[in-house]
């Protein structure tokens, strides 16, 4: 999540958003919706296990729903999330 937050701060996504605002206002919503999950990662200082926020790859079908509906909007949001968080990371071990 740190790389994503740095991109938000730098304005790489077309707008700027501070790290404090992201962690105070947006992260809780992403956790509740299932886009982000707490996970354990081995590493850091002294080789300890750290609790970090990990993006969750959203399972979506290869074909989008045909009608404009709740499901087609949900499909678009999940597809955008997967492209934003996992593009170029074929080896990323996502939490599902």
Checking if the pLDDT of 90 tops 60, the result is no
- Number of domain units in the chain: 1
In a domain, 63, yes or no: yes
Q: Is residue 91 part of a domain?
A: no
Distance CA 28, CA 42 (A): 24
Q: Tell me if 32 is assigned to some domain.
A: yes
pTM of this prediction? 0.70
pLDDT at 25: 86
Instruction: Tell me the pLDDT band of 88, cut-offs 50, 70 and 90.
Output: low
Radius of gyration of the chain (CA): 15
pLDDT tens digit sequence for 26-77: 888 889 989 999 998 887 677 888 888 899 998 988 888 888 888 888 899 8
Cα(86)–Cα(51) distance, rounded to whole angstroms? Answer: 20
Q: For residue 38, what are the domain limits?
A: 2-86
The Cα–Cα gap between 56 and 94 comes to 6
68 is a domain residue: yes
Q: Is residue 62 part of a domain?
A: yes
């Amino acid at each position: 999540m740190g790389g994503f937050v740095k991109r938000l701060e730098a304005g790489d996504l077309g707008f700027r958003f501070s790290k404090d605002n992201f962690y105070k206002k947006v992260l809780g919503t992403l956790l509740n919706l299932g886009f982000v999950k707490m996970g354990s990662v081995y590493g850091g200082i002294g080789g300890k296990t750290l609790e970090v926020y990990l993006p969750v790859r959203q399972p979506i079908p290869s074909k989008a729903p045909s009608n404009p509906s709740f499901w087609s909007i949900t499909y678009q949001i999940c597809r955008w999330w997967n492209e934003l968080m996992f593009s170029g990371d074929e080896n990323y071990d996502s939490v599902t």
